Amino acid sequence: MIDIRCYNRQRVYGARVLFPVIRETAEHVLYSSPFVMQLLQEGIGVCIEVTMIGPRVMRKINREQRGVDALTDVLSFPAQDMREGALEKPLDPWQTFAPDDRPALFLGELVISPDRAAEQAKSLEHTLDRELMFLTVHGILHLLGYDHECEEDASTMEALQRQLIRGLEEVPSGFVALCGRPNVGKSTLLNQLSGRTLAIESPKPQTTRHAIRSVLFFDDAEIAFLDMPGLHKPNNALGRAMMKTAMQSIRQADIIALMIDASWHPYIGEEERRVLEIAKEDNKKTILLINKIDRSPKEAILPLIALYDANWHPDACIPISAKTGDGLGIFIDEIKCLLPVRRRMFREDDETDQTERILASELVRREILRQTEHEIPYGVAVIVRSFEEEMDESGGRAGILIEADIICERTSHKKVLVGKGGSMVRSIGTEARKAMEALFDAPVYLNLFVRVRPNWQNRPQDLGAVGLLPSDASI
């Protein structure tokens, strides 16, 4: 158990103003400490004390304990010998005490001056809560053996402090589903927003087959964009799995961004209607994105906005070009206004759910979409069978060896995919390899094998093998 004992020994600020934020912050910091978590797993609790005092007493303590005759904001008095989050020596049973018959380790005491904290909050133009949060994080890190005496220690402590405060901040945060019919430009938008290729794009419809997440981090918000398969009427198990994936993403989102093409006639189709109904049912925020304005006359956009506004009242209608980036600043600002304000949900290294293995298979599929015609690309799936990294002596990547199967429906398709004397599969491999090398920043050795698996698009086990079954699939 984590026991945070708060004492109020001053009269200006009430316990109800001070203690909730201090308790919440202290718990967050202590639960984030691997050392504390280890103790808790062993059945040993931790305890800290936090005492609020007036400015005169604070100055006196600072003078007596540190020889500094000035008011300060927080003082830490560690009870254990710790260095960078760990005990200097193994724990002896006598170091713990037993309130309520359960052993606990006393980590030390923080002394805080709310007057000083309020002064600082004012000069930094933020709230007293925010200042108390900062002081509590800083003070507890001292109890855990972090310091800022030398430059190296200071940078370790500052980085940890930043990370802990980041985890406590409440900012607009949530999921935005990019949905719409095939080919409207959802994947192009996701790539433009994330600044890299996470989703393959192509002029052929039904390019995207699975959900793709990309998280954008801002100082004042975090936004998880979900790209998904284009909404269409499915005619096989693959199509049904794709629609199920799309619906799951839409239901999961806080904001539905419905994308249409600026060149369309003003008409609300069945696919768009279905999305609008879900948005209404789930009471979700909605943004209408009118894409490809770079190639449509401005006059075409107004009737589209008028139609959707009159029938559906979206929270915003934004003309954009996913290709050029036009209008995306307005889109981001609008999202920040509409998202719920909550604790951050993503870690900074959590930018995407697309692994290099998935990206490798998608880059092969992109080349097939580019280099083959008619029904062939639609009957193809790519499975990366092995993805082996070779390391050089310094631990860097010397190269990646990738083996992948191109699965197709018929022998006649295999013939086209292999090409005369293997020319087609070689050309697909060459272009896919170049794209992988640019993306992975390492030499790639790619071996492709074309295999026939009749009717794979209707066989759940095959769909599972190519990673295209949605999570709770029954198709």
Contacts of 227 (CB under 8 A, 6+ apart): 178, 186, 187, 189, 190, 198, 199, 208, 211, 212, 213, 214
Identify whether the C-beta of residue 193 lies closer than 8 Å to the C-beta of residue 217.
no
Identify whether the C-beta of residue 237 lies closer than 8 Å to the C-beta of residue 459.
yes
Cα separation, 454 vs 457, whole angstroms: 8
Cα separation, 330 vs 319, whole angstroms: 9
Q: Does 205 bind ligand GTP (CB under 6 A)?
A: yes
Q: Does 197 bind ligand GTP (CB under 6 A)?
A: no
**By C-beta, is 32 or 202 nearer to ligand GTP?**
202
Q: Does 183 bind ligand GTP (CB under 6 A)?
A: yes
Contacts of 329 (CB under 8 A, 6+ apart): none
φ, ψ at 11 (rounded to 5°): -115, -10
Binding residues with Mg ion: total (CB under 5 A): 4
- Judging by beta carbons within 10 Å of its beta carbon (0-12, 13-18, 19+), is residue 235 exposed, middle or buried? exposed
Q: Which stretch binds ligand GTP (CB under 6 A): 66-74, 144-152, 321-329, 353-361?
A: 321-329
- Nearest approach in angstroms of CB 303 to ligand GTP is 19
Cα separation, 371 vs 204, whole angstroms: 11
**By C-beta, is 35 or 175 nearer to ligand GTP?**
175
Q: Which stretch binds Mg ion (CB under 5 A): 52-60, 101-109, 125-133, 179-187?
A: 179-187
- Nearest approach in angstroms of CB 376 to ligand GTP is 16
Q: Which stretch binds ligand GTP (CB under 6 A): 6-14, 79-87, 263-271, 289-297?
A: 289-297
Q: Helix H segments across 339-469? A: 356-371, 411-418, 423-440, 460-465
**By C-beta, is 181 or 186 nearer to Mg ion?**
186
Q: Does 51 bind Mg ion (CB under 5 A)?
A: no
Binding residues with ligand GTP: total (CB under 6 A): 23
Q: Does 322 bind ligand GTP (CB under 6 A)?
A: yes
Q: Does 208 bind Mg ion (CB under 5 A)?
A: yes
Cα separation, 275 vs 256, whole angstroms: 8
> What residue number has its CB nearest to ligand GTP?
230
Q: Does 80 bind Mg ion (CB under 5 A)?
A: no
**Residue with tokens 């008619």, as numbered in its chain:** 374
The three-state secondary structure class of 297 is coil
- Nearest approach in angstroms of CB 189 to ligand GTP is 7
Q: Does 263 bind ligand GTP (CB under 6 A)?
A: no
Binding to ligand GTP in span 143-182, by CB under 6 A? 182
Q: Does 188 bind ligand GTP (CB under 6 A)?
A: yes
- Nearest approach in angstroms of CB 186 to Mg ion is 5
Q: Which does 114 bind (CB under 5 to 8 A by kind): ligand GTP, Mg ion, none?
A: none
Q: Does 321 bind Mg ion (CB under 5 A)?
A: no
DSSP state of 352: B
Q: Does 161 bind Mg ion (CB under 5 A)?
A: no
Q: Does 206 bind ligand GTP (CB under 6 A)?
A: yes
**By C-beta, is 72 or 263 nearer to ligand GTP?**
263
Q: Which does 202 bind (CB under 5 to 8 A by kind): ligand GTP, Mg ion, none?
A: ligand GTP
DSSP codes joined into one string, 65-122: HHS--S--SEEEEESS-EETTEESSPPPGGGEE-GGGS-EEEEEEEEE-HHHHHHHHH
| CA distances from residue 22 to 7, 33, 150, 171, 310 in whole angstroms, order as listed | 11, 17, 28, 19, 49
- Nearest approach in angstroms of CB 311 to ligand GTP is 22
The three-state secondary structure class of 292 is coil
Q: Does 294 bind ligand GTP (CB under 6 A)?
A: yes
Binding to Mg ion in span 188-207, by CB under 5 A? 207
| CA distances from residue 41 to 32, 82, 223, 448 in whole angstroms, order as listed | 14, 19, 34, 48
Q: Does 187 bind Mg ion (CB under 5 A)?
A: yes
Cα separation, 226 vs 250, whole angstroms: 9
Q: Which stretch binds ligand GTP (CB under 6 A): 51-59, 97-105, 319-327, 402-410?
A: 319-327
- Nearest approach in angstroms of CB 208 to Mg ion is 3
Candidate residues 185, 314, 319, 377; the one interacting with ligand GTP per rule CB under 6 A: 185
φ, ψ at 112 (rounded to 5°): -125, 140
Q: What is the distance in angstroms between the CA of the first residue and the CA of the last residue of the chain?
A: 46
Cα separation, 76 vs 74, whole angstroms: 7
- Nearest approach in angstroms of CB 199 to Mg ion is 6
Q: Does 352 bind Mg ion (CB under 5 A)?
A: no
Q: Site residues (CB under 6 A) for ligand GTP?
A: 182-188, 201-203, 205-208, 229-230, 291-292, 294-295, 321-323
Q: Site residues (CB under 5 A) for Mg ion?
A: 186-187, 207-208
